[in-house]
A and B are shown apart, each in its own frame.
Chain A
């Protein structure tokens, strides 16, 4: 969907500039990836501190359903090494993580990594389908609304986007579940399904709900960005030169409007990730969202820590990808400007 930059005849000077730019881009990506390390470190400290600072701490969770005697508390402290000083516990945990060992869930005794990877497909497919829907439907509708500025179609589309933006995604999910799952009987009501086709059938409605929630955002954003471009002198000039409306919209305004839209794409990705926590709960899907909620409410501290690291890495990587995409969309991004 993103316009490729038109192929250029490379003069020797341009070829050198192009090579320079490519080298810069590689360094830029490398630098952003390096930032991942301190950021994930910070998140790990925050996650560790939070779970250990919670009222009662991990011991309270571990003792929840057990009769307590001092010996048992000692045994548990021994098993989970809770007697050690906190920095030592942190070191034990983080050095395990560095070797791919996130520890075991306290609630299920399954390894955290297994729990995450076995549920990843649900959240991942919901998010990918939702983002595709939000972009492929929301962006064209936003352009359409901007083209019909102030007319009936524009107002109708804006009203729709306000509705989707102010409706909590779980309420949207319940409406959809009632209307399309129960009344129309088009979609199953609960669970992830078995086998490929059945799974797609089960995930379709949640993905649509998530996509619609994101669509309100992309539509409004695209409309605003397009309107801003339509007000620019270069658009008036292009029109004055007699270029067709389609040409002006698609080749001139749209390409520039993509810049703020891309900037906001990071927000869209994190928004949908948050939304999928709620959608998974509504539809009873075993994804990372429901895993996070059960871990958080059940006080499963190893799971919370592992999930937080995983989600943080997810969000940071997506944001890096968006920033890199940004460089491609807006060739004017100067070497030093993007350095910040």
Chain B
């Protein structure tokens, strides 16, 4: 692939892409509430589930909403609301692992590549170019499907495929920092290279790193639920929002709330995390001066 834009432009382009700029405060508040609620459900969900999310009731399948089952039951008679609550932890853990891997590997290789330059930079960049050109979700569909599926395999594949974007972004940011006076000053004072890279530079670009991790989290949530929707990510029986959508799709016209509620859970969670990531970037990057 030709990499036509200069690195500085690429960085700006990416940063703009992930940056909303001036999120209306009400959205920010709502996003924090949504994320807080889902984290709460993931931790304490088993205490407040109205019914057992895994208990099948073949005499009460595909039931419409009722006082007993607020969102009705799925085609195997399981309580949909309880399953949404039970699905909160797989909506957090997998995306978190993907985002965290991206954060570590992205910071590690990105700063190394941007600051050191030379052969290391060249090797890392060729690898990144290659991985960046791969259609991530499509590859995940094929690998997870052929090897035989499973939530953790999906998380692993997505973690690896996700690294390239972070490396490219953080390398660009580190490249911009390298030219700044504080780095030169630190070098003159004889600060070791690894300290300059991972303490000085990292701290200055950390808003970009965290904003990118938030975006990765949202994308991983969408990708994992897409795999589950196709029947590839989580296994049958597991409570996972994407899988619930495909299992309950036949209810779309009789009990739409039962199908659209897990879909809304994914949408709200992904949107909220994206908005929070944008807010982090706007608030903290370059001392908050770039906000427009």
A interacts with B = yes
Residues of A that sit less than 8 Å from B by CB: 50-51, 54-55, 149-150, 155, 158-159, 162-163, 165-171, 174-175, 177-178, 182, 220-221, 224-225, 227-228, 259-260, 263, 266, 270-271, 273-274, 277-278, 281-282, 292-293, 296-297, 299, 301, 304, 308, 311, 315, 319, 323, 326, 330, 333, 337-338, 340
Query: Do the beta carbons of B229 and A278 come within 8 Å of each other?
Result: yes
Contact B2 A166 (CB under 8 A): no
Most A C-beta atoms less than 10 A away, residue of B16, B20, B142: B142
Q: Using known A-B contacts A149-B292, A319-B133, determine if residue A340 contacts B253 with beta carbons closer than 8 Å.
A: no
Give per-residue flags for B119-147: 1 if the beta carbon is below 8 A from chain A beta carbons, else 0. Answer: 00000000000000101111001110111
Determine which of B135, B252, B260, B292 lies in contact with A150 in the assembled complex, contact meaning CB atoms within 8 Å.
Answer: B292
A281 surroundings in chain B (CB, below 8 A): 229-230, 246
Minimum distance in angstroms from A284 CB to a CB of chain B: 10
Contacts of A297 in B (CB 8 A): 145, 231-232
Contact across chains for A296 and B13 when beta carbons are under 8 A apart: no
Residues B141 and A292 in contact, CB atoms below 8 Å apart: yes
Give bound CA distance, A277 to B252, whole Å: 20
For residue B27, which residue of chain A has the nearest CB? A159
Does B77 sit at the interface, judged by CB under 8 A? no
For the complex, is B205 an interface residue (Cβ under 8 Å from A)? Answer: no
Q: Mark B5-20, 1 if CB is under 8 A from A, else 0.
A: 1000100110011011
Query: Who on chain A is nearest to B145 by CB?
Result: A296
- B4–A155 CB distance below 8 A: no
Give the contacting residue for A326; candidates B4, B17, B135, B263; CB below 8 A. B4
Chain B residues closer than 8 Å to A50, beta-carbon distance: 142-143, 146-147
Q: Mark B259-292, 1 if CB is under 8 A from A, else 0.
A: 1100110110011011100000000000000001
Closest chain-A Cβ to B27's Cβ sits at a distance in Å of 7
Contacts of A224 in B (CB 8 A): 13, 16-17, 19
Q: Closest residue of chain A to B24, judged by CB? A: A155
Q: Which residues of B contact A175 (CB under 8 A)?
A: 260, 263
B218 within 8 A of A: yes
Are B147 and A150 in contact (CB-based, < 8 A)?
A: no
Chain B nearest CB, measured from A45 CB (Å): 14
Judge if B222 is at the interface, Cβ distance under 8 Å.
yes
Contacts of A308 in B (CB 8 A): 142
Bound form: Cα–Cα A51–B148 in Å: 11
CB contacts (< 8 Å) of B264 on chain A: these are 171
Point out the residues of chain B lying under 8 angstroms from A55, CB to CB: 147-148
Given contacts A54-B147, A274-B137, A278-B226, contact A333 B142 (CB under 8 A): no
What are 5 A-B residue pairs whose CB atoms fall within 8 Å in the complex?
A162-B20, A266-B133, A273-B138, A274-B141, A296-B142
Does B47 reach chain A (CB closer than 8 Å)?
no
Complex CA–CA separation, A221 to B3 (angstroms) = 17
Instruction: Decide: B16 and A227 in contact? CB cutoff 8 A.
Output: yes
Task: Give the residue among A155, A174, A301, A340 with the most B Cβ atoms within 10 A.
Answer: A174
Contact: B13 with A260, CB < 8 Å? Answer: yes
Which residues of B89-119 have CB atoms within 8 Å of chain A's CB atoms?
none
A51 near B146 with CB under 8 A, answer: yes
Cross-chain contact B229 with A323 (CB below 8 angstroms) = no
CB contact between B267 and one of A166, A225, A337 (< 8 Å): that residue: A166
In angstroms, Cα B253 to Cα A165, docked, is: 26
Q: Does B212 make an interface contact (CB < 8 A)? A: no
Q: Are B230 and A182 in contact (CB under 8 A)?
A: no
User: Is B263 in contact with A171, judged by CB distance below 8 angstroms?
Assistant: yes
User: Which residue from chain A places its CB closest to the CB of B9 in the assembled complex?
Assistant: A260
CB distance from A36 to the nearest CB of B (A): 13
Flag whether B22 is at the interface (Cβ < 8 A). Answer: yes
A304-B218 in contact (CB<8A): no
A177 to B218, CA, bound (A): 24
Chain A, residue nearest B253 (CB): A182
- How far in angstroms is the closest Cβ of chain A from B214? 11
Whether the Cβ atoms of A323 and B2 lie closer than 8 Å is yes
| Residue contact A165 to B138, C-beta cutoff 8 Å | no
> Given known contacts A166-B271, A168-B226, is B142 in contact with A54 (CB within 8 Å)?
no
